[in-house]
Structure 1
Amino acid sequence: MVKRTGDKYEAIINAAVRVIAEYGYHNAQVSKIAREAKVADGTIYLYFKNKDDVLISVFREKMGAFITEVEQELEKVSSPVEQLYHLIRLHLNKFDQNKQLAIVMQIELRQSNPEVRKGIGKILKRYTDVIDRIVESGIEQGVFRPDLDVRIVRRMIFGTLDETVTSWIMNDYKYSLVEQTEQLHRLFVQGIGK
């Protein structure tokens, strides 16, 4: 396998998002992804073992870049309450700006096999660790209740954001995701704040 960098690799990743969003994971043949990326079918196999590897790589690349963006933004903010606000806004904005990526991340990844779920678990852990750090910092600084179970709060935050995006997709994007930021933030802070 060749190194996973460069224009062709990026073209395949972006094409995979478009094809999987349009046809669904199970109907997204490698040949369709190759056509969309404007590469030969065999080129896909220079970078990826199989279609599952393509889906895991899409998640790793797109979610990995997003997590890095979130981490960089949160470094600029010291208040855990404000960090939580930025996390919510960034999460919702990411999908509001890219409906195809939202479909792949929210719908298609969940229909994949255990190997794919295992592959994305490591990347997802990095994101949940970001949420944990915000909650832990809030407890340490005394702005969040000291009796909180960090794992439960993380599931509440992630699960709510996850369901908010999924519901938006299922309702044909009839409203702005980003406009949900204030209300979700208020809901979380009132639930976990002192």
Structure 2
Amino acid sequence: MKREKPKYMQIIDAAVIVIAENGYHGSQVAKIAKQAGVADGTIYLYFKNKDDILISVFKEKMGVFIERLREIAHRPISTEEKLYELVKNHYTILQNDHHLAIVTQLELRQTRKPLRTKISDILREYLSLYDYILKEGIENGVLKDSIDIRLLRQAIFGMIDETSTSWVMTGQKHDLVSLTDEVHQLILHGLKK
């Protein structure tokens, strides 16, 4: 498996930096190779082309989001706590890797349809963990049983995603993780007075 090859993650990490600093279209394979400290040809031992690099970046990095959220989803804590940790986890990963934040919030949005489809397939696993937590909340009586899980998931992810994008667009000047409490309260209580 190519993930086990020693330079694979080195190239993935380099690609995140290069794409964040140059934009996807301005990121030549040669720049990624230089950042990774490998020969240009080495890239092609691991990836078919630049699109494959972008998909692999998203798959590997999204894997971190998924792994951590899976652990949160299966903790013996309340649904309210799981929702809090869901938000905090997402924000913490992005805040701790500014380059990754730029790539996920800006560069992945500008891709062509075939790439968007592959990215959506990867994202689906992450969002299925939202569904797991929300279904548990309904079963435990924490959330209304009349709620449309798909709509709630979209609203929660949309709020987290939009606040993350805004944070990136404004130069990452404030503490993203500090939004966790307010976003959590909006999820639990919405607009009630």
Matches within 5 A, 1:21-60: 21-60=20-59
3-state DSSP of counterpart to 2:19: helix
**One-letter amino acid of the structure 1 residue matched with residue 165 of structure 2:** T
- Which runs of 5 or more residues in structure 2 are unaligned? none
How far 1:116 sits from its partner (Å)?
1.4
Q: Which residue of 2 aligns with 1:152?
A: 151
Q: Could you say if the C-alpha distance between residues 116 and 188 of structure 1 is closer, same or farther in structure 2, counting changes exceeding 3 Å?
A: same
* Structure 1 residue 96, shift from structure 2 partner: 0.8
Residues 74 and 86, structure 1, Cα contact 8 Å, conserved in 2: no
Is residue 6 of structure 1 aligned with residue 1 of structure 2? no
Aligned residues: 192
Q: Which amino acid aligns with 1:121?
A: S
Alignment correspondent of 1:76: 75
- Deviation per residue, 1:42-78 (Å, 9 max, x gap): 1111110110000000000010122112111332233
The code of the aligned residue for 2:173 comes to K
For residues 156 and 77 of structure 1, the distance between their equivalents in structure 2, rounded to whole angstroms, comes to 25
Q: Is the 8 A contact 2:105 2:164 kept in 1?
A: yes
Distance 1:192 1:127 in 2: 26
How far, CA to CA, are the matches of 1:192 and 1:145 in structure 2? 15
1:148 alignment partner, SS class: coil
| SS of aligned partner of 1:66 | helix
- The alignment's C-alpha RMSD in Å is 1.5
What is the distance in 2 between the residues matched to 1:42 and 1:4? Answer: 17
The aligned runs of 1:35-184 (5 Å cut-off) are 35-184=34-183
Give the TM-score taking structure 1 as reference length: 0.95
Instruction: Output the CA distance in 1 between the equivalents of 2:170 and 2:57.
Output: 24
1:124-174 Cα shifts (integer Å, max 9, x gaps): 001110111111111111011111000100000000000010000111112
State percent identity of aligned pairs: 49
Q: CA deviation at 1:3?
A: 2.4
> Where do 4+ consecutive residues of structure 1 move more than 4 Å?
none
